[in-house]
Amino acid sequence: MGHTSLEKIIALQRNPANIRNLCILAHVDHGKTTLADCLVASNGIISSRLAGKLRYLDSREDEQIRGITMKSSAISLHYRNGDQDYLLNLIDSPGHVDFSSEVSTAVRLCDGAIIVVDAVEGVCPQTQAVLRQAWLENIRPVLVINKIDRLILELKLTSQEAYSHLQKILEQVNAVTGALFTSKVMEERAEKEKKEEEAEEEKESELLTGDQVYDWSAGLEEADDSQLYFSPDQGNVVFASAVDGWGFSIQQFAHIYSQKMGIKAEVLLKTLWGDFYLNAKAKKIMKGAQAKGKKQLFVQLVLDNIWSLYDAVVTRRDKEKVEKVVASLGVKVMARDSRHSDPKVLLSAICSQWLPLAQAVLSMVCEKLPSPIDMTAERVEKLMSVWPLRFDSLPEQTQELKRAFLQCSSGENQPLIIFVSKMFVVDTKALPQNRQRTLTQEEIAQRRELARQRHADRMAADQTAAESHSQEGQPAGCDSAKMEGLTLKDSQPEEDQQTFVAFARVYSGVAKKGRRVFVLGPKYDPARGLSMLPEGSSAWDHVPAVPHLSVCSMDSLYLLMGRELEELDEVPVGNVLGIRGLEECVLKSATLSTTPACPPFIPLNFEATPILRVAIEPKHPSEMPKLVRGMRLLNQADPCAEVLIQETGEHVLVTAGEVHLQRCLDDLRKRFAKIEISVSKPIIPFRETVVRPPKVDMVNEDLGKQHKVAIIHQVKEEASHGRPSDTLHVDHIGLVTLTTPNRLATVSVRAIPLPQEVTSLLESSTELIRTLEQVNMSLREGKSLDISPKTLEAIAGFKAQLESLLQGRKWRNAVEHIWAFGPRRYGPNILLNLVEGYQRPSLWQCLGRGDQAGEARAQASGMRDLDNSIVSGFQLATLSGPMCEEPLMGVCFSVERWDIQSAVLPQPQDFLEEDSKLHRAMTDNRVEGSGETWTGGSCQARRRPQAASADCYGPVSGQLIAAMKEACRHAFQAQPQRLMAAMYTCEIMATAEVLGRVYGVLGKREGRVLHEEMKEGTDMFIIKAVLPVAESFGFADEIRKRTSGLASPQLVFSHWEVISSDPCWVPTTEEEYLHFGEKADSANQALKYMNAVRRRKGLYVEEKIVEHAEKQRTLGKNK
């Protein structure tokens, strides 16, 4: 097929029924880009000889060098299936876990996906991740099992073995989809049941008699899952070898054999995959091949042919046989191919004609994947529903937009809706309008004439300049030649400037060049927008300032063609496109629309958490502004990288992993900042927590009670160093009582470790807690919210889970008494209100306990006004702990007493307003780390208008914040403290020979093997292990080196784990002293980590230096 013209593509763009937007998803290295090459070659964009070698869509230099994809990129292809022409907008995505955010940006714009699975490696961690992502976005997948050639040449399986192997892979993939489907059905079922229950209750109240019917089915029976599973006979599976350029679906063989053998194609379609065999005598296809020891049809008619072809061409290089096969298949082979020294060349020449891969994959795509018109109402509602509101509580005009989505029409009066999923950069000079194109003869002549003219002008100008110089007077006007020189110089840097292009899709209407649109930020509220904007206003009008809404014009529209862009005047509904001109308004993603009624789309689902931080500075300090600008650009151009400035002035870059970091640094050096930079060692995140007092000491002796007392004693001592001890009191159970400097308010706080399950639950429910907090804030402000039943149910479920996990005497009624979560109001620590007689509105009031709140208000309104100070103090304390100013995790602070002398209670109105402002500032604040911004918070508190009760120590609320924070810190120190380390999980695939070395590397880096199993049908072992992030730098490289490249792990952040050793531990018994020595730091990993962090942050590090060298040497011997 020849190169498709731009006109043809523009024509195809107008017919959404024949458009397919799809992406290729898989685990790293399973062959996505190679497959894309074959598809691109079918359009004549690259030569089919180079397909598979060029990796055309990996357009970056580092992608080519490293051999992995790092950015998703799109290309539009034309395919003729039967008598219909199709336009395929294909997006190739990266498979490396560090770039999984690029997958999220691709999946959002598509309606379908090709899932590629390596026939040898089978389902890998990222395969599961991408299947889940496709599922969450409601897009339909089809499957390509790639690298079948490896089964033949590497594993040397027989065709029969290969068949069972392929069956197993299909089972694995289906098991993943099955699990996703079941969980969804269960959810729907629960929802349905709830509705039915409500209806039932209503009915019951009407009439109390009647038959009762109980249904115990799980709902799975009725749910339609026929479309869900991958099966060759459904036509949604292609078997392929992308490097060798071949691939087939059952349909193709059914077609071939129905002609050859006279069996009906429909019969073959049903029997070619499965336990069927051909009974030659009876001339029938029968079931039960395995039981009868016969070859399955698939083996006999399909695999055997391929196996014998490989055998003849590659293994035995049997010329005669090859000629025979070539003749029987009716393909043409060029002489230079058959003479080529590499047999693979001949092989792909034969296979790509016999079983062309592009044809198999693209016809499957056209037939099985949905077009933009088929978008389901469910998906639309999901995209449009701004949590926690329900869809039907959105303004009417907004709900009407659903129709526009479903109609998928590009009519003139349809609202334009576009979603931008990421911003990417291209060199300004590579934009189509700046690109050099081949000139016609006339144009060349014209230019020559122009150049001649310019030269003559310049000569003349020079002459005048020389004359005027000789006259010693300055010419009054500007010298034209100089001007030209100047402007030329100015425009020079523009040459290598970067332009941002938005990666987007049109969901309704037509995008037109130069059109102005509203840019809706993720927090934009259509109800508010509609009420603030005059009715019928458009982006052309002068619009008043509405929060999270801005106006931008789409300067140029592009067709994305892999490495190239083509300029377009308009792009109709259903197409993927590039837009220039949005960089001022869009940071990473946004929704664009011509109507302010449009809600922002739900945010993208990111699977990877950015965790790897480094500090960056320019080599030459004077280049700081360039670095700052470069980092800003990088932040905009990468969906997942985060750039922040710490209060210390450090510029910090947070990335998903080492490979991602490398790419970001390369980008900074070569593209965005274009300066030399120096990069700090990775900043490793830790968490601080408390644990229960240990029962044995470090040499396994029983401890009894004395240890606990010792710790508390220590706290008392430390505390009395810094402040007059009469404001601080620590009792024997670790209850810390602190009085404000003016001695008028007192708080008593105790720190208790949370059970580990509770911490994990809190961690996994951050979004929910945030929603709960938002809802509570609205209730506090007296607004009523129409919360979706799903959200309410989720909150109730969360509460029930917490209740079931917090059992026992210690936690009686704890869930009801939760005051707040922290840090940032949604973190994994809890503040409990155990103050006797102090009632405040419950955290769970949205679940229907509104009346109690009213009572509480009446009861203690004075103290309630200072409620926020306690919460703020808690937030500050949990944001940076006393060990090394890292955030806390898994700690419960229970406030057991809180007294305020009535003289100091403020006038209520003054504070309510201020508190809610401060609160909002805190919830919005997303800067992580060592409490930098929070000191700001308390300053703000101190700067408040003077209340009546202000004394020389400042307003009472400020004092209370500080007192609460200090009390929490002391309470924390009164318990045994521990550091928590971030852990990665990794799955390593290795052969038996290198297994020992993999274990060696893991052991050295404090990794822990969780399990090890043999991959069925191969000689590979799969090892699953966890590894502290702190020990992970260079891990992948080391494994690769030690195993000669046979094993390459991918690290994914998994959880936080308590480091068992106590960083504050000092030997107290004689045995311990003997065993560990006075310094006791030889084995204390936690202390090393802690001191490293303290040193980095410029905090005081208490280190014992060698005092008595000789004595220590003798101790060393004793060890």
Ligand X SMILES: Nc1nc2c(ncn2[C@@H]2O[C@H](COP(=O)(O)OP(=O)(O)OP(=O)(O)O)[C@@H](O)[C@H]2O)c(=O)[nH]1
Q: Which residues contact 605 (CB under 8 A, 6 or more apart)?
A: 104, 133, 136, 137
CA gap 1119, 1099 in Å, rounded: 32
Within positions 253 to 312, which residues make up the interface with Mg ion, using CB under 5 A? none
Residues touching ligand X, count (CB under 6 A): 22
- Interface region with ligand X, contact rule CB under 6 A, candidates 88-96, 391-399, 615-623, 863-871: 88-96
State which of positions 240-269 bind ligand X (CB under 6 A).
Answer: 241-243
By C-beta, is 603 or 1045 nearer to ligand X? 1045
Give me the 64-103 binding string for Mg ion, x by CB under 5 A, dash otherwise.
-----x----------------------------------
Distance CA 180, CA 135 (A): 8
Tell which positions 187-246 bind ligand X, by CB under 6 A. Answer: 241-243
CB-nearer residue toward Mg ion: 69 or 594:
69
Distance CA(505)–CA(575), nearest Å, equals: 6
Shortest distance, position 243 Cβ to ligand X, whole Å: 4
Per CB under 6 A, does 1086 bind ligand X?
no
Smallest distance, Mg ion to C-beta of residue 90, A: 13
| Nearest approach, Cβ of residue 790 and ligand X (Å) | 35
Contact stretch for Mg ion (CB under 5 A) within 25-33, 39-47, 275-283, 855-863: 25-33
Cβ closer to Mg ion: 69 or 133? 69
| From candidates 20, 32, 515, 663, binder to ligand X by CB under 6 A | 32
Residue 94 makes contact with ligand X by CB under 6 A: yes
964 binds, among ligand X, Mg ion, none (CB under 5 to 8 A by kind): none
Query: How many other β-carbons are positioned within 10 Å of the β-carbon of residue 767?
Result: 12
CB of 500 to ligand X, least distance (A): 24
Dist. CA 771–CA 767, nearest whole Å: 6
Shortest Å distance, C-beta 22 to Mg ion: 15
- Supply the minimum distance, in Å, between the C-beta of residue 1032 and Mg ion: 24
Least distance between ligand X and beta carbon 90 (Å) = 13
**Rule CB under 6 A: is residue 102 a binding residue for ligand X?**
no
Q: Does 69 bind ligand X (CB under 6 A)?
A: yes
What is the 3-class SS of 661-706, one letter each residue?
Answer: HHHHHHHHHHHHCCCCEEECCCECCEEEEECCCCCECCCCCECCCH
Q: Report helix angle 1035-1042 to 992-1004, nearest 10.
A: 150
| Contact mark string toward Mg ion, 214..243, x via CB under 5 A | ------------------------------
Say how many Å lie between the first and final Cα of the chain, rounded. Answer: 78
Pick from 78, 96, 140, 687 the residue near ligand X by CB under 6 A: 96
Nearer to ligand X, 365 or 754 (CB): 365
CA atoms within 13 A on the CB side of 752: 19
- Calculate helix-pair angle for 658-667, 624-637, nearest 10 degrees: 120
Q: Per CB under 6 A, does 33 bind ligand X? A: yes
Binding segment for ligand X among 32-40, 420-428, 817-825, 1025-1033 (CB under 6 A)? 32-40
Closest CB 370 distance from Mg ion, rounded Å: 25
Cα 841 to Cα 236, 831, 846, 859, distances in angstroms: 55, 14, 10, 11
Spatial distance between the Cα atoms of 543 and 532, rounded to a whole number of angstroms: 9
Mode of pairing for the β-strands spanning 516-520 and 549-553: antiparallel
Cis peptide bond prior to 388, omega within 30° of 0:
yes
Min CB(119)–ligand X separation in Å: 8
Environment class of residue 167 by beta-carbon count within 10 Å: exposed (0-12), middle (13-18) or buried (19+)? Answer: middle
Shortest-Cβ-distance residue relative to ligand X: 95
Q: Is the dihedral of CA 144, 149, 150, 156 positive or negative?
A: positive
CB of 226 to ligand X, least distance (A): 30
759 binds ligand X, rule: CB under 6 A: no
Q: Residue 234 to residues 83, 106, 226, 230, 361: CA-CA distances in angstroms?
A: 22, 26, 9, 7, 14
Choose among Mg ion, ligand X, none what residue 242 binds, the Cβ cut-off being 5 to 8 Å by kind.
ligand X
Residue with tokens 């400035």: 645
Residues with Cβ < 8 Å from 192, sequence gap 6 or more? 219
The rounded distance, in Å, linking the Cα atoms of 61 and 73 is 14
* 137-166 residues near ligand X, rule: CB under 6 A: 146-147, 149-150
Among 19, 21, 29, 983, binds ligand X (CB under 6 A): 29
The least distance separating ligand X from the CB of residue 334, rounded to whole angstroms, comes to 23
CA distances to 436, 446, 450, 567 from 443, in Å: 13, 5, 10, 21
> Which range binds ligand X by CB under 6 A, 22-30, 222-230, 558-566, 981-989?
22-30
Closest to ligand X by CB, 24 vs 641, is 24
> What's the CA gap between 32 and 14, in Å, rounded?
28
Among positions 33, 594, 872, 875, the unique one binding Mg ion when judged by CB under 5 A: 33
Q: Tell me: does residue 34 bind ligand X (CB under 6 A).
A: yes
Give whichever of 29 and 137 is closer to Mg ion, judged by the CB atom.
29
In this structure, the chain runs to a length of 1119
C-alpha distances (whole Å) from 1018 to each of 120, 148, 305, 1021 are 8, 14, 23, 8
Residues 42 to 61 in contact with ligand X, rule: CB under 6 A: 55
**How many CB atoms within 10 Å of residue 455?**
10
Q: Where are the beta strands (DSSP E) in 890-930?
A: 891-900
The radius of gyration of the chain's CA atoms, rounded to the nearest angstrom, is 34
- From ligand X, Mg ion, none, interface partner of 650 (C-beta below 5 to 8 A by class): none
The residues binding Mg ion (CB under 5 A) are: 32-33, 69
The residues binding ligand X (CB under 6 A) are: 26, 28-34, 55, 67-69, 94-96, 146-147, 149-150, 241-243
